[in-house]
Structure 1
Amino acid sequence: MMLKRIVLLSLFLGFTIQSCAQNLDAKGKLFIIGGGSRPASMVDRIVKESGIDKEGYGIVLPMSSSIPDSSAYYATNQFYKLGVNNVYGLNFVKDEVLTVSKLDSIRNAKLIYISGGDQNKFMDIVQGTAIEVLIHEAYENGSLIAGTSAGAAVMSEMMITGSELKHPDYSSTFRNIESENIEIKSGLGLITNIIVDQHFVKRSRYNRLLSAVIEYPEIAGIGIDESTAILISGKTMEVVGESQVVVFTNPDKSKTTFNDKLGAHGLIMNLYLPGETFKID
């Protein structure tokens, strides 16, 4: 019976992983939070956009955290404080044998909320599994996928890991704008034309995001500050929360170097405030 389940799951993955990248017509929305505290108005917006105040339920995926039980507790508690009690923690571990009931819990969730921590840890657990496939499926079928901090970083196809290739000692912001320094790995790929950075204004992460848009000029760099989010519906992005969203683009695909230092001409920076909307082509 177990062998049969593994074979069926393998067939399922082989069929759907190829199609899950084709999410241009997804009916769902993305709610990407830059970390920090979530004001009650922001949590309420998540509830309203997902529709779990009317029907269905939400789940919290806490796998980014080194203490997933605590992470799930604090994430669900922000909803409980608003009287929304139909949000539940759902943890997975690496190489877990995935039960049908847990997979169905992802597939049928109207809200999937990815907590903070380490985005590399989250992707190490979900990448190439039915978990990843079902997050895509839920998004395509109309669910709201939300994430904060590390949960924000995993949303895009190209994911900032937080590490510098040339400077192994971690720093919350890059000290230089250097070539071949920013480490990029594969995220969930729910959106493909942006790369997300979080805690942005609070931690002055400009060097990091500038490095990204110079090295990878085909994407836009979106820096989201703490207690702030972007709500993506179709091609429209709305700023929600208390602070700013910074968007860097490199329309001329400009890149110059001098002794490993990066240069570029014609970069565009836009700074958006709560309530404003914008689009990325």
Structure 2
Amino acid sequence: MTDPEPKRLRSGHWLLIGIVALLVVGIFTVTRRDRDPDDKADGVTTAPTASAPAGPVCAPKVAETGQSIRQGLVNFGIVVTSDCPQAAVASQLDVVAIGTDGKELTGDQAKARIFLSAVLPGQRLGAGGKLLVDINASIKNIRVSVSNTQNVPADAFSSWPTVHVADIKHSGPDSSGHTQVTGTVVTDPSTAKPCDPTYYLLLRNGAGTLIYGAAATGSEPSFDERLPSGIDWAKAEISVAMGTPPLGTVNTQQLTCQ
């Protein structure tokens, strides 16, 4: 005759397994509730990010462009303005050279991308850079498109000082054909430090047409450039773009150097 005891043990084992499974599910559920993402742990704060705009995004407008070309090297300048009620942040300027036939010029560096961290309501801001095209290319103008702009309240930048560059000076050209250009940064309040500045040199001819642009970083604006002829130095300006270009969703504390 077969002993029935093992069968009873097996049934008991199944009962114990069921109880343990219920306990595990209960513990997991309590743990998930304790880790509800809407609950904040003591001492933990979340950095503010830009909220999704209620309406269409308001982006800066390209008000002016200009360029010069020498042996395939294109130096371009751009002026953007903003009539947005909020700050326009993280804007991407894509720049391409257009030939005299109306087509985009090609080459490994025939396109450039400039990131403007923030353009504030009513602000006028300059930018500039370089393109490299075929040495025999003829250029008609440059084309600039603006994308990826996000909008955040302008008061996020209330800690920023007013900044401009005064006393622009130049010397040269030297024996290599380079001209050095410098300027003095003026802030209001005077003790303020600009937030991660990039300096853009914009040069015009006697008619006021923008013919050259260049970029520099550092504590003070300083440029070493091979410049075209016909510059009216009375019309020279150095624009200051501030802010740390964000990656992905805008973190306003990081953007404003706080």
TM-score (norm 1): 0.22
TM-score (norm 2): 0.24
**Greater share of residues in strand:** 2
Structure of greater Rg: 2
